[in-house]
A = this chain, B = another copy of it.
Amino acid sequence: MTRVTNFNAGPAALPLPALERAQRELLDLEGTGMSVLEHSHREPPYEAIHREALGLLRRMLAVPDTHHILFMQGGARAQFALVPMNLLHPGRSADHLVTGTWAKQAWEEASLVGAACGATARVAATTEREGRFVRVPAADELALDPGASYVHLTSNNTLFGTQWSVFPDVGEVPLVADMTSDLLTRPIDVARFGLIYAGAQKNLGPAGVTVVLVRKDLLDGARTDIPQIFRYRSFASSDSLFNTPPTFAIYMMRNTLAALEERGGLPALHAENQAKAARLHAAIDANPSMWRAPVERASRSMMNVVFRLPTEALEKAFLAQAAREGMVGLQGHRSVGGIRASLYNAVRLADVERLVEFMEAFERSHGG
């Protein structure tokens, strides 16, 4: 078996030890005589995994006692709706910072939820120019409403490859962040956020489970005119066992988090993530006749490094040759094209070194 080097944008590479552990015990979890897939979510073997996953997140992210950790389903897409359904009250408004495709969809979904209950989702800033986003806004570009129910932003833009390196000061208004593509890749002060959500399938585990960190006091005033299954409170009061959770996805997230903690936890992940992105950006910047990064330097993502070659034909040749050498998942999002290397936690510095060596060889053979 030869494993490829996987730069997928998500679902994405997982740590090999996490997969090997799952493979080893897939027919028999810890001598229980059944697969984790067959265990009841109300019995000790699964409950221990569930609690361990919650504990790993709390420890690795230094989540304070002021915040719940929830496991939900539906991905960030569901959170686009659930945040306003829970926290946007009739007659109020929410501020959205629009820095990419997903941020825009979050605003559109909040607008629909608002329209149905007499509330509003405002665009408090957008960096869209001709359908593209190449930067995050500066502080003085934010037209914030001090009376907003919350401010929503997308911390990392997977599609165009931009990222908030410093989060904006929004005063007393709760800050809500979609961190689907960069939670657990750099230190964050969770206390600064009212709510953080992240689909697991980039840095935390597989597709099928969504992590939500939410300030407990925000739930006291949350709306109760919505279905119980869509209330954060239902999950907060049941340790995310309100209904049958996606048990295997949570199990694989536990395996992934345990492997990442074993590697040194957040400090080690952050250092390696910085080194990976720096290495790849340096290679791009070193030869402007072959590589071009469309994103403004200060807004460059550490997670999704997006670049172009001089022609689409060269991009096609680059992707094909990379695939032949066992490096896959490098095509840009179908809506923008180009090259995108996603450097999530399971991608190692050695993988990036390999990619850079390949780029240098490609330059030589294609006269860059």
Tell me whether A248 and B252 are in contact (CB under 8 A).
yes
Q: A199 on the interface (CB 8 Å rule)?
A: yes
Given contact pairs A77-B242, A243-B77, A244-B201, A228 touches B112 in the complex (Cβ within 8 A)? yes
B38 touches A12 (CB 8 A): yes
In the assembled complex, how far is the CB of residue A224 from the closest CB belonging to chain B, in whole angstroms?
9
Output the nearest chain B residue to A16 by Cβ-Cβ distance: B27
Residues of A67-95 contacting chain B, CB below 8 A: 73-78, 80-81, 85
Interchain CB contact under 8 A, A8 and B225: no
Are A40 and B229 in touch, CB under 8 angstroms?
A: no
Nearest-neighbour CB distance to chain B for A88, whole angstroms, equals 12
Q: Which residue of B lies closest to A247 (CB)?
A: B207
Say whether, besides A28-B1, A73-B74, A252 and B116 are in contact (CB < 8 Å): no
The answer, yes or no, to whether A365 is at the interface (CB within 8 Å) is no
Binds B, one of A17-25, A138-146, A261-269: A17-25
Counting CB contacts under 8 A, is A137 at the interface?
no
Q: How distant is A126 from chain B, measured CB to nearest CB, in Å?
A: 20
* Residues in B whose Cβ lies below 8 Å from that of A12: 38
What chain B residues lie within 8 Å of A329 (beta carbons)? 40
Interfacial chain B residues near A42, Cβ < 8 Å: 334
CA distance A244 to B22 in the complex (A): 22
Take A73-B78, A227-B112 as given contacts and tell me if A27 and B8 are in contact as well, using a CB distance cutoff of 8 Å: no
Q: Shortest CB–CB separation between residue A58 and chain B, in angstroms?
A: 23
Residues on B with C-beta less than 8 A from A26 are 19, 22-23, 26
Interface string of A228-263 (1 = CB under 8 A from B): 111000000000001111111100100000000000
Is A4 a contact of B33 with CB atoms below 8 Å?
yes
The verdict on A208 contacting B246 (CB below 8 Å), with A3-B34, A26-B22, A227-B81 known, is: yes
Distance of A327 from chain B, by nearest CB (Å) = 10
Min CB gap A38→B, angstroms:
5
User: Given the known A-B contacts A37-B19, A77-B243, A244-B199, are A227 and B113 also in contact in the complex, defined by CB atoms under 8 Å?
Assistant: yes
From residue A247, how far is it (CB to closest CB) to chain B in Å?
A: 5
Please determine whether A246 and B207 come into contact, CB atoms closer than 8 angstroms.
Answer: yes
* A208 and B73 contact, Cβ closer than 8 Å, known pairs A19-B35, A252-B37: yes
**A75: shortest Cβ distance to chain B, in Å?**
5
A297 to B252, CA, bound (A): 43
Contacts of A81 in B (CB 8 A): 227-230
By beta carbon, the residue of chain B nearest A202 is B244
| A–B complex contacts, Cβ < 8 Å, 13 sampled | A3-B28, A10-B244, A19-B26, A41-B207, A42-B334, A74-B78, A75-B243, A76-B243, A81-B230, A85-B227, A108-B228, A207-B247, A248-B252
Top 9 A-B residue pairs of the complex, sorted by shortest distance between their CB atoms: A208-B246, A81-B227, A4-B33, A77-B243, A73-B73, A23-B26, A37-B206, A1-B28, A77-B229
Residues of A in contact with B (beta carbons under 8 Å apart): 1-4, 6, 8-14, 16, 19-20, 22-23, 26-28, 32-35, 37-42, 73-78, 80-81, 85, 108-109, 112-113, 115-117, 199, 201, 206-209, 225-230, 242-249, 252, 326, 328-329, 334
